[in-house]
Structure 1
């Protein structure tokens, strides 16, 4: 890459990565603060939020698959085909709302049998049911808010979502403090207070986002007609691309739910440790999410312009960044792991003893986590390579790691640390398969090569 291109790469990457990392910092700081407040209520409260969190995770991953349509938005934006970009967003928003409504109904009807997969303690089950009943409404609100946020992010406009996130975090922290502990003149609701805080903060953040977008006529201020303006042939093409991604995210998220079931079988302390480790992992990985986002936008725009050579060079640079960052974060985790339990003083000695060991195992696999994020979420998704990633998940999650974890937990009755090591086999095997795909360059596809700007003209193709 010549000096001019290298300078352009660094400038564009910084413009995308810095706001995205700050947004991740806000989101993960919010998660850490939430977790700190809930952990003061004991292992059982953490286990309840962990169980509900697995349900939320499945729904969010299915919606993430719907948001795979942003690969088209990125490439349309790169080609300056703004009418089709907005039409694609309309179709994505409509699909996301439909999926979230379906999920809302399913969770409300079957919440008890779902929760009993994770929570075997009958005393904790009513608490979990109350928490999930409130969080079901968060699914609906988040589906709309996140659709706008994902779409804005796909065209490099991430600052507004950062500002909205900051406001939501501040509101959520204040409400959590008041509603969990009965402070600030608010009722003491315990774990349910955390759910109410999330619901109110999510509603406010959606309102802020709407006011900004529609008062400023900001990029995605679409009307009702644009929800249905994407031509049928293009809808079919988009659905063909994201269907494997929906299956991918669905199967992966169900697999993650089953991991929680396996860890739950080891006891409340093991499930609480698993939840804490996942929360801290998200915090450690927030930087690489920013680079994955930048890779998706920058490489996607180059693919839309048919600039294959520059897309390849960008992919190489992002891969090198991932390796260096993964090694650096691994060292940080090794240093801080002995002190992690000090952050959660109210939890049991059993959780304190296992958490440091689990974090050390995370450190060993962190480079694989980073590479998988940049390759799968960034590069492969930019080129719409969703069928391959679907097959990868079937192999790494369902054929390798999930059977190993269940055998370790249910058959061999291994200690938590050993079972967590088996859980990490997914990321390691995924990185090995992903590296081969990355090197093949088969993921590099122009999704919008010969599509006219006007939806009406596109319909005639």
Structure 2
């Protein structure tokens, strides 16, 4: 194996992926800031944000997963200079994202009563309900933003979503500071203030990204003068056929992490708060892999449009190699700092909540050991899944993700996550098993498909 033919792509891959990573990290950083600021209020408040966001994660996974159908279609149209196809894909994708945003908001809003039937701590549920009302509404601008973002990524213009996300983060930090703690004459709103900060910053994000795209010559003609309600049923069906399985893939993965939140809630508010800390930290490193997953989707989509299948395979493996190297680095980082990172979220000097805080720190520290080891499998599965989306192969990967997370991962989490077994750590053993299974099976699928494409191309 000549490593240089793979490492030679690192520079371009990184150039394309870095803005996506920063944009993805920006989404997670909103949650990170919310968790740190809310964590200063107490462990019950931190657990409430965790519980409220568990509903949000499910809705977001469906909306974001659905929107990923836009990127490979745009990338294929862009590489073949098909203006009409690109504009049609964006228009129909945006229409579906708006519809999904409204649908997800209504779904979360009317499912709130379920919180009372999930055997979660009562004080946590009471705090989570008003938080969830506002954050649920923010799903509408969030998923609309995803429509613009996936279009921009497909055009290889990955910096614009990054700029919009960074602006949203600055806005969120300032709004949180003012509204959570009651600064500059505003009342102290606690976790409801965090919800307002998230809602307003997401509206800022989508408006700014649209404005940036209208200022660029390449994208201006594609995102303006759109007759949003003049629709082609064939294009709608094409996006739905790609988007629905992609949404389910993301749903199956996010849902098992959400199940981990609920299972940890059965153990009490402190295990739930500890789970939220470990989940938030590991999701930040996951966004780096997610950025490379988007890069593999873009580049594989481009090469598919050009029908250069040997190049497609080489480029994809170069992305997998880069991501694995980074994942190994994160694995060592988490393992080395597992006792220190949870302190970012908890006020160790809080005398009133000292006992709770110490228990949360200890539990979160143990969970980060499990999180360290699944960095590698988590990174591989999301990169390979991105490459498969670039090939527009979505149905078999959907079955693979369901088997990995719900036939293998969840039963392990449920059995070993009981208080009589390993508790929170047992829950995360299930996550590790599911992610590892997914990474292996998805890789085998990609390897099979690309070799088949190359062989068929050589025969013709």
- Check whether TM > 0.5: yes
| Contact 2:30/2:198, CA 8 A, preserved across alignment | no
Contact 1:437 1:443 in 2 (8 A): no
Conserved 8 A contact 1:303-1:445: no
How many residues are aligned here? 444
Distance 1:353 1:316 in 2: 39
Distance 1:144 1:13, change over 3 A: same
The residue that corresponds to 1:361 in the other structure is: 370
For the pair 1:387 / 2:395, whether they are aligned, the reply is yes
Are the structure 2 counterparts of residues 7 and 270 from structure 1 closer, same or farther at C-alpha, using a change threshold of 3 Å? closer
- In the other structure, the counterpart of 2:237 is 236
Structure 1 residue 276, shift from structure 2 partner: 1.1
8 Å CA contact retained: 1:270, 1:416: yes
Using the alignment, how far apart are the partners of 1:360 and 1:25 within structure 2? 21
Quote how far apart the aligned CAs of 1:124 are.
3.0
Deviations 1:294-351 (A, max 9, x none): 2111111001111101001112212222222221111111111121232123261111
Residue 404 of structure 1 corresponds to which residue in structure 2?
A: 412
Cα gap change, 1:292 to 1:328, in 2 (>3 Å): same
CA distance in 1, matches of 2:175, 2:236: 41
Tell me if the contact between 1:303 and 1:383 (Cα under 8 Å) persists in the aligned partners: yes
Shift of 1:37: 0.3
Q: Secondary structure at the match of 2:342?
A: helix
Contact between 1:385 and 1:443, CA under 8 Å: does it hold in 2?
no
Distance in 2 (CA, whole Å) between partners of 1:339 and 1:411 is: 25
Residues 26-425 of structure 1 mapped to structure 2, 5 A cutoff: 26-70=26-70, 71-113=72-114, 115-116=115-116, 120-214=120-214, 216=216, 218-219=219-220, 220-225=222-227, 228-229=230-231, 231-346=232-347, 348-376=357-385, 378-410=386-418, 412-425=420-433
Match of 2:62, SS? helix
SS of residue in 2 equivalent to 1:80: coil
Alpha-carbon distance between aligned partners in 2 of 1:435 and 1:208, rounded to the nearest angstrom: 37
Does 131-140 or 100-109 show the bigger shift? 100-109
* Separation in structure 1 between the aligned mates of residue 282 and residue 7 of structure 2, nearest angstrom: 32
Gaps of 5+ in 1: 450-461
Q: CA deviation at 1:369?
A: 1.1
SS in 2 for 1:228: coil
Query: Which segment is superposed worse, 155-164 or 20-29?
Result: 20-29
User: Structure 1 residues 193, 298: closer, same or farther in 2, change over 3 A?
Assistant: same
Task: Specify whether residues 419 and 254 from structure 1 end up closer, same or farther in structure 2 by C-alpha distance, changes over 3 A only.
Answer: closer
- Contact 2:20 2:162 (8 Å CA) reproduced: yes
After superposition, the Cα gap between the structure-2 partners of 1:74 and 1:169, relative to the gap in structure 1 and judged at 3 Å, is same
Q: Deviations over 1:348-402 (max 9, x none)?
A: 11111111111111112211111111111x2111112211111112211111111
Task: State how far apart, in whole Å, the 1-side matches of 2:119 and 2:144 are.
Answer: 30
User: Contact 2:330 / 2:375 at 8 angstroms: preserved in 1?
Assistant: yes
What is the Cα deviation at residue 182 of structure 1? 0.8
Alignment RMSD, CA only? 2.6
